[in-house]
A = this chain, B = another copy of it.
Amino acid sequence: MIPPTAGFTFRVIARDGHARRAVFETPHGPVDTPTFMPVGTQGSVKTLSPREVASTGARVVLGNTYHLMLRPGAQAIADAGGLHAFTRWPHAMLTDSGGFQAYSLSAVGPKSLVTLAEEGFAFKSHLDGSKHTLTPEDAVRVQGLIGADVQMQLDVCPPGDSPRAVVEEAVARTTRWAKRALAAPRRESQALFGIVQGGCFADLRRAHADELGALPFDGLALGGFSVGEPLARMHETLAEVTSTLDELRPRYVMGVGTPLDLLVAIRAGADMFDCVLPTRNARNGQALTRAGRVVIKQARYKDDQRPIDEACACECCAGGFSRAYLRHLYIAGEILCLRLLSLHNLHFYGEIVACARASIEAGRFDAWANRLLENMQEAGSTDAASGVHSPGGDAVI
């Protein structure tokens, strides 16, 4: 039994197969899991106010350490009283370690701006080229200044097509960094999660889950998914691996995913998710609904006076904003469209996890999920507008 950081508890209140419904208590209130965490990259869930984000059912928001440490800077956020006070988000928050963005954003361009060594990352800012380092200890310190409820260890996340030897080395280094992160001085009342790597090699994943499970982390994440691997392999690996993570701690699948991905992972025993998909797709004019994807600029919506989804209770749908109006706003470049679609898509994700929780409590997760998967496959065959990596209409539930 790992003594958790003060202020945090994790209590499973219902199980259905590997799927579980739990309550993750944090210093900023309880989080019902499975839960979806909207992404507030730069201290704002794009286009939305904190009140609106909470109205979608979200009770944890994710902040990106890489972006925040470069702008406005971790010390500036600490001076403002931390990320909660700075952004006026009253519920729980989690920050990633910054490693993933340092690696992926800094590597853009003809010359890589990042170097990876045993000590940590050295990188140049994608904003102004300024030089920074990010060691496991730095990540703990910087996330301490930012002050979210949960921080993540610095990890090594290889691309999805990496050979086994590269993944093995990433796993080994991530373990060494895990121990350094746990040994670093940490702000009180801030939980620390470890990150299990191993790509789609289920044996590496299971071994890494055991290794990190032996360390006093407050939760365990699965990193290194949705990084270019085939979707079917990701789903297979999630199904094989998730339930081997310590059942007494929250399990967080990072950077995932589509509604279909969420169902697969919840069925496998995952509790927490984050992804830019619902907000990014919204800004590209795509609304996600039970009946398929609505690509709002399409001419077929020109005279469509119905809301995006007549059964939806979000401020966009229940507020009576029509597809015709949203299409007009989108084509005219009006920001209100991006707000309303972002609100709708996050509300849709909030409904998926709420329904998942209810179906687990009722012992009917599989029946609910199977019916949804069938609907998805049906709609997938007609949803020609599908644009993300998940085949078969990820937007249908």
Contact = CB atoms under 8 A, between A and B. Distances in A.
Interface of A: 42-44, 46-49, 67, 71-72, 76, 79-81, 86-88, 302-303, 305, 315, 319-322, 324-325, 327-329, 331-332, 334-336, 338-340
Nearest to A45: B336
Contacts of A47: 335-336, 339
Given A71-B328, A72-B328, A80-B325, A44 B334 contact: yes
Given A72-B324, A86-B325, A325-B80, A335 B338 contact: yes
By secondary structure, the A interface counts as loop
Contact of A320 (B79, B88, B315): B88
B43 A325 contact: yes
Contact of A328 (B43, B305, B327): B43
A327 to B, nearest CB: 8
A361 to B, nearest CB: 34
Q: Which 6 A-B pairs have the closest CB atoms?
A: A72-B328, A42-B332, A44-B334, A44-B336, A47-B335, A86-B325
* Total copies of the chain: 2
Contacts of A48: 336
Contacts of A329: 42-44
Contacts of A305: 79-81
Contacts of A88: 319-321, 325
Contacts of A72: 302, 324, 327-328
Given A44-B332, A46-B334, 15 more contacts: A42-B328, A42-B332, A42-B334, A47-B335, A48-B336, A76-B302, A76-B303, A76-B324, A76-B328, A80-B325, A81-B305, A86-B325, A88-B325, A335-B339, A339-B339
Contacts of A339: 47, 49, 335, 339
A324 B49 contact: no
A302 to B, nearest CB: 7
Contacts of A334: 42-44, 46
A81 B322 CA distance: 11
A318 to B, nearest CB: 11
A22 to B, nearest CB: 31
7 contacts: A42-B328, A49-B340, A71-B328, A71-B331, A80-B305, A80-B322, A88-B319
A240 to B, nearest CB: 39
B320 A71 contact: no
A76 to B, nearest CB: 7
Nearest to A331: B71
A324 B42 CA distance: 13
A87 to B, nearest CB: 7
Interface centre among A315, A327, A332 (most CB of B within 10 A): A332
Nearest to A325: B86
